[in-house]
């Protein structure tokens, strides 16, 4: 169902409203900000679509958009973009418990891990951590851990947890993305996405 048709059906056809709203929201969310503004300016957007879009509610499950539409009505590229975004969103959600989501934080974690590795390799703990090149340890001792030794151990444990999770997630994410990009029909995209979601759910169970 093309976006223009979905917008129209979402506003007037009660029997098809839920599905059309989902399609319209999904399609609009695949557009860039400029493209979305152009569509919203050109077409009359039903309130239910605008409100859901503005609230940035979670996208519905994709399967109904495939199972109940003829192949000719599926916007394959929009669906492909949607599926890729969903793969990345699921990956981000799985990583979230181990990350503080602020700009530059991942780089900071890397620097802390590097500093901790250098620290545990020392034969003697320096009296002035900052002067010895351990500025992150110096600033955080007494906050997250009582001693530099405990803090370095904490950072290395967190780095191990992050590495294990990232390694476990990366191959399935790349495999799903490759399958979705190479798919020639909507059911192939749905199957790749379902396999990815099932695999991630199984790993986290």
Q: Which long-range contacts (CB under 8 A, 24 or more apart) does 167-171 make?
A: 168/203, 169/91, 169/94, 169/95, 169/200
The tens digit of pLDDT for each residue in 102-111 reads: 777 778 888 9
Q: What is the mean pLDDT of residues 17-42?
A: 62
* H/E segment holding residue 34: helix 33-42
Considering the domain architecture, whether residues 134 and 55 belong to the same structural domain is answered as no
Pairwise CA distance, residues 101 & 2, whole Å: 35
The tens digit of pLDDT for each residue in 140-155 reads: 999 999 999 999 999 9
Considering the domain architecture, whether residues 116 and 197 belong to the same structural domain is answered as yes
The tens digit of pLDDT for each residue in 107-129 reads: 888 899 999 999 999 999 899 99
Considering the domain architecture, whether residues 8 and 79 belong to the same structural domain is answered as no
Residue 192 has pLDDT above 60, yes or no: yes
- Looking at 60, 85, 110, which one is the last position of a domain? 60
Residue 28 banded pLDDT, cuts 50, 70, 90: low
Considering the domain architecture, whether residues 27 and 126 belong to the same structural domain is answered as no
pTM of full prediction above 0.85? no
Considering the domain architecture, whether residues 78 and 31 belong to the same structural domain is answered as no
Considering the domain architecture, whether residues 96 and 173 belong to the same structural domain is answered as yes
Considering the domain architecture, whether residues 15 and 102 belong to the same structural domain is answered as no
65 falls within a domain: no
Question: Could you count the other beta carbons within 10 Å of the beta carbon of residue 57?
Answer: 10
Tell me which residue range forms the domain holding 11.
1-60
Considering the domain architecture, whether residues 97 and 54 belong to the same structural domain is answered as no
- Least confident span in 3-12, 44-53, 105-114, 137-146: 3-12
Q: What is the mean pLDDT of residues 157-178?
A: 88
**Count of structural domains, the chain:** 2
């Amino acid at each position: 169902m093309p976006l223009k048709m979905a917008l129209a059906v979402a506003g007037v056809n009660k029997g098809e409203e839920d599905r059309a709203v989902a399609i319209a929201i999904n399609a609009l969310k695949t557009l860039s900000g400029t493209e979305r503004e152009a569509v919203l300016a050109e077409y009359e957007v039903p309130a239910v679509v605008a409100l859901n879009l503005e609230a940035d509610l979670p996208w519905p499950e994709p399967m109904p958009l495939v199972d109940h539409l003829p192949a000719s009505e599926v916007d394959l590229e929009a669906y492909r973009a949607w599926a890729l975004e969903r793969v990345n969103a699921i990956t981000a959600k799985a990583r979230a418990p181990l990350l503080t989501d602020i700009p530059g934080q991942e780089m900071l974690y890397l620097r802390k891990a590097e500093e901790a590795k250098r620290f545990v390799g020392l034969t003697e703990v320096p009296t002035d951590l900052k002067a010895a090149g351990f500025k992150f340890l110096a600033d955080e001792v007494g906050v997250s851990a009582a001693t530099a030794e405990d803090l370095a151990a904490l950072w290395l444990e967190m780095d191990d947890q992050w590495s294990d999770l990232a390694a476990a997630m990366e191959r399935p994410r790349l495999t799903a993305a490759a399958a979705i990009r190479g798919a020639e029909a909507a059911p192939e995209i749905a199957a790749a996405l379902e396999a990815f979601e099932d695999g991630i759910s199984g790993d986290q169970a």
